[in-house]
Structure 1
């Protein structure tokens, strides 16, 4: 069936076509449908103190690249994450921030991260990797982001894309077992 799709009726395949599909054929054909979890976040409505939550308004698109096997963070938990945040300004990709493989600690759901990252991490399990499209109001909002050495400024309400790895939740994961299923 794959050959019928690639081979024209006259049976001749150009060298360019053959080279274009060589990686696909080497991997066993075309990839099937993705079964990764994905969705869009909803508003949190209330804070842990019971007040109205005006920060987490919903609208972050997320997709699991790798589903974790550990614990899920609860609001107020300390978490260790690796992340890379990118934005597109005037058709240029700008890396806003990158932890470069070193986990950083944050308190989940308390406003220490971008509101969109809090929303996108909700429901993740340790060891998981998730891609997120964060709308501008849940990224840097009306302030935007000033320029820094090696980084252009981000205009107000610029959407960003983040890739997040949830490394650990102290006290919730058995630290000596972490990563065993990844072998």
Structure 2
């Protein structure tokens, strides 16, 4: 089941913009619970569909041998991949975001406001991993809606389904508030550069032609 990159119940999601929402009133809990159950059912269907597309070869959930498969190494870009990235041309956008495509997708491209299903690995400016969706569940998020940090939002919008991309996100497009250290996870100071490896799995409503 897909997890949501969203902020709720007064807590801040790891990749949120840093804005914390107030906890919902008790009177709204029943409605919210029902809505969440419906969304969970939808998300489960999305992931099943993504897996079906992958099995049919419509989208690529794993790349060449140089790129580690999620189930094997829990990485989207292994040591060999990192070495190869040195020769991959970097793209710098007007905002200051820099990215390199590990695998260029061949499927549809997201539209602002559309839901996407992704895997990701997040690292601080020293290369230490602080979040990893592999081995858990992919995340679904609406792109261009401000549900994640600006650099991640922008980086996903120009990807295509089946693609894997490394995003070098400058501090001004990263976390406006610090992320505290936890067991096995380093802290991430506010407004410091971060690196994301992102794998675009599926876009509901923009299925590739079979």
SS of the aligned residue for 1:167 comes to: strand
Q: Which residue of 2 aligns with 1:169?
A: 203
2:131 maps to which of 93, 97, 106: 97
Asked if structure 2 preserves the Cα contact closer than 8 Å seen for 1:66 and 1:128, the reply is: yes
Match of 2:99? 62
- CA deviation map 1:21-71 (0-9, x unaligned): xxxxxxxxxx8x95x5641123xxxxxxxxxxxxxxx11100111110100
Output the aligned Cα RMSD.
2.1
- What is the rounded CA distance, in whole Å, between the counterparts of 1:61 and 1:174 in structure 2? 27
- Looking at structure 1, the residues matched to 151 and 196 of structure 2 have their Cα atoms a distance apart, in angstroms, of 9
Alignment-derived partner of residue 168 in structure 2: 133
Unaligned runs of 5+ in 1: 1-30, 43-57, 178-183
Q: Which runs of 5 or more residues in structure 2 are unaligned?
A: 1-83
What's the TM-score once normalised by structure 2's chain length?
0.54
Alpha-carbon contact 1:59-1:135 (below 8 Å) kept: yes
Q: Quick one: which of 121, 140, 155 aligns to 1:120? A: 155
- Report the Cα offset of residue 154 of structure 1: 1.7
For the 8 Å contact 2:118–2:140, the answer to whether it is kept is yes
Count of residues in Structure 1 that have an aligned counterpart in Structure 2: 125
Q: Relative contact order (C-alpha < 8 Å, sep 6+): which is higher?
A: 2
Is the CA contact 2:108–2:208 (under 8 Å) kept in the aligned structure 1? Answer: no
- Counterpart CA distance in 1 for 2:205 and 2:89 is 26
Once the two structures are superposed, what CA deviation does each residue of 1:61-103 show, in whole Å capped at 9, x if it has no partner? 00111110100001000000100010135xxx32121101532
Taking the aligned partners of 1:86 and 1:151, their CA distance within structure 2 comes to 10
Q: Secondary structure at the match of 1:110?
A: coil
Larger radius of gyration: 1
TM (norm. structure 1) is: 0.62
Point out 4+ residue stretches in structure 1 off by more than 4 angstroms: none
Q: In the alignment, what sits opposite 2:3?
A: none
Q: Which residue does 2:10 correspond to in 1? A: none
Q: Displacement of 1:173 after TM fit? A: 1.1
